[in-house]
Structure 1
Amino acid sequence: MAEVRTIGSLPVPNVQALAGTCNGSDEQIPERYIRTEATCEEVISNYHGDMAIPIIDLNKLLSPQSSEEECVKLRSACQYWGFFQLINHGVPEEVIENFRSNIIEFFSLPLDAKKEYSQLPNSLEGYGQTFVFSEDQKLDWGDMLYLQVHPTDSRDLRFWPTHPASFRQSLDQYSSETKSLSLCLFEFLAKAVGAEPESLLGIFEEQPRGMRMNYYPPCRQSDKVIGLSPHTDVVGLTLLLQVNDVQGLQIKRDGKWFSVDALSGAFIVNIGDTLEILSNGKFKSVEHRAMIHPNKERISTALFHYPRDDLLLSPLPEFVKDGKVNYRSISYNDFMMQFFNQKRDGRNRLERLKLEQ
């Protein structure tokens, strides 16, 4: 992550402030934010049964009586959806609620107060935006605060808000409480395909974790904008927390977009590019995006789990039991540099690493 942290993004207008001027009856959205593709593809909502994103119960994974059956569900979720909602995850409700409250309060601060934590040139961390590389590039309707949270000695406290006063403490507690949960998930992901837990734990345990806190302002012309462009996550695993009760996450499956109805108290977990490659395609990194509500703000936070920096990214032997390797090898640092030096392009970057069969 050291080299990646020096990658910057061109400065763009603050969207939260922009939304305040664009939501009048006569105001027009700036051309750079208009996304004609936003309504071109079919969106499926209010689906049930086999069409619903799987729900995984951590208590059942941990119980000897139900672990095997729940592992089968976990494998299916990661193979066919790339996403699942995790319930009974064990992270204390008080820790989550304190963190939620602090994030909401931070994004409610005056713009000048938030700008104290603005990204610096050639810096990924801080308040602002990412993946902006040209002056005519289409832009997302959202702001973010990105922080490196683990290891603790890698934290750049210049970007850690001191308002609200409890922000740093609540973020630290949230990071600590989710650490063991994430390692538990890596362990069960390996078990789900008959691999040794150490095959993944050895790559992700005690490795960097970053957090992106997202703020999506409302837009009365919400059908013309996108909160976060279609993309896959470059990491191993992402833990998404819906901070308020406004939905907006959509995932792509079979050429259609599926709206995710986040369960109260659950984490939304998704597979990243790194884990798809390491698993030789047994787990899928799925394209997803964030859409905008016409009159309500949406806030979420994503915790990203990175592998060790010196990793040669290629399918692990434990996941290549038929002898057929499906992805070319690439150093993880090169893979990350490609990711952060290009605009979001769905799954294209990942597809280019696939070997012809």
Structure 2
Amino acid sequence: MDCPRDWPEPIVRVQSLSDTCTDTIPKRYIKPPEARPSLGSTTIEANIPLIDLGGIHDDNLRETLLKDVSEACREWGFFQVVNHGVSPELMDRAREVWREFFHQPMEVKQAYANLPKTYEGYGSRLGVEKGAILDWSDYYYLHYLPCNLRDFNKWPALPNKLREVITEYSAEVVRLGGILLKLFSINLGLKEEFLQNAFGGDDIGACLRVNFYPKCPQPDMTLGLSPHSDPGGMTFLLPDQHVPGLQVRRGDGWITVKPAPHAFIVNIGDQLQVMSNAIYKSVEHRVIVSAQERVSLAYFYNPKSDLLIQPVTELVTPDRPALYPAMTFDEYRLYIRTKGPLGKSQLGKC
């Protein structure tokens, strides 16, 4: 399967539509009735688990922390972490420099327009299916690791502090990812460094997608991001602190996540579901929009792209045979890039 070199239709920036469409949205963004947030689904009044990482070095609290993380990975696939060691000021700066970018003149942003082969740069659609119903969002995608993919010329030059802030922020998120992989390994009965080594050791992939959801005149008719599970290892989401939007599937309904102050929302990706032989779950989620704009930062902590990913031998038993074939992350995400967000179907169709 090859990824097309260009988009199937001319790209329209959703932010521009938001500025001009004051009452209605174009048909290309109207979801079928069963997929609209107001119909065909149940909203559940609950929230994902909140985990305090402050006890990681306290022997009296560590056992409880490990238990909470294990339950969240097995039963929810999503959780929030506080006392994670990333400074609140840095988190705020990271979100605000990107808000400033999306309010730059269009010609500044267009200089970074992306293509489907890597998605790197300024984008407005996922998937390359001609005539697809699109999501109400723009985004910016960039690579941080491996170092050979990190090209600062592809990172916005404006606002002036963006490259500096995002470099610092990226290093902190990668550090946090290493800490959580250790906890996951211990909970699976593996050596502490097992999953980090299975991801490629220091040679992992780390990339950022900044999501910009412009204000929408018909939020009940569309979605900011269609239902999907994340194809990578795990995701760290820095949400908008003022406008909720992330919804997580729970049974037959959806939970609207209520962000805790300066927490990261963490979710298990498909690669960890494969490695854990489905002991850990990657869970479907989506994004709703509203009459207010939102900015969120999704950081993807991924295995090295050319490593074979398969169920860990120690987690395969006669009672629980291997559920997934071996596949590189490159092969897996090419499917996703071609098809766009399709719920959880990718785990069964690659």
Tell me which interval the TM-score lies in, with the shorter structure as reference length.
Answer: over 0.9
What residue number does 1:212 align with?
209
TM-score if structure 2 supplies the norm length? Answer: 0.92
What residue number does 1:110 align with?
105
Structure 1's 327 and 7: CA in aligned 2 closer, same or farther, altered over 3 A? farther
Question: Which of residues 232, 236, 241 is equivalent to 2:238?
Answer: 241
What residue number does 1:351 align with?
348
Quote the Cα distance in structure 1 between the aligned partners of 2:151 and 2:271.
25
- Could you tell me whether the CA contact under 8 Å between 1:249 and 1:290 is conserved in 2? yes
Question: Which of residues 322, 325, 336 is equivalent to 2:321?
Answer: 325
What is the SS of the residue equivalent to 1:218? Answer: coil
What is the SS of the residue equivalent to 2:59? Answer: coil
TM-score if structure 1 supplies the norm length? Answer: 0.90
The one-letter code sitting in structure 2 at the alignment partner of 1:42 is S
- Could you tell me whether the CA contact under 8 Å between 1:4 and 1:124 is conserved in 2? no
- 1:202 matched to 2:197? The reply is yes
What residue number does 1:22 align with?
21
In structure 1, stretches of 5+ residues that fail to align are none
The number of residue pairs the alignment matches comes to: 343
Residues 35-184 of structure 1: matches in 2 within 5 Å? 35=31, 36=33, 37-38=35-36, 39-47=38-46, 52-120=47-115, 122-184=117-179
What is the SS of the residue equivalent to 2:101? Answer: helix
- 1:32 matched to 2:28? The reply is yes
- Could you tell me whether the CA contact under 8 Å between 1:41 and 1:256 is conserved in 2? no
Quote the Cα distance in structure 2 between the aligned partners of 1:313 and 1:179.
20
1:44-69 Cα offsets, whole Å, 9 max, x none, are 2543xxxx311111112332111111
Question: Which of residues 261, 276, 279 is equivalent to 2:276?
Answer: 279
What is the SS of the residue equivalent to 1:341? Answer: helix
Structure 1's 121 and 87: CA in aligned 2 closer, same or farther, altered over 3 A? closer
1:166-199 Cα offsets, whole Å, 9 max, x none, are 0000000001112211100000011122221222
**Displacement of 1:8:** 5.4
Residues 330-345 of structure 1: matches in 2 within 5 Å? 330-332=326-328, 333-345=330-342
Quote the Cα distance in structure 2 between the aligned partners of 1:7 and 1:316.
35
Structure 1's 153 and 217: CA in aligned 2 closer, same or farther, altered over 3 A? same
**Displacement of 1:318:** 2.7
RMSD of Structure 2 on Structure 1 (CA): 2.0
The one-letter code sitting in structure 2 at the alignment partner of 1:159 is K
Quote the Cα distance in structure 1 between the aligned partners of 2:208 and 2:310.
25
What residue number does 2:262 align with?
265
The one-letter code sitting in structure 2 at the alignment partner of 1:167 is L
Report percent identity of matched pairs: 35
Structure 1's 81 and 247: CA in aligned 2 closer, same or farther, altered over 3 A? same
- Could you tell me whether the CA contact under 8 Å between 1:186 and 1:201 is conserved in 2? yes
- 1:187 matched to 2:187? The reply is no
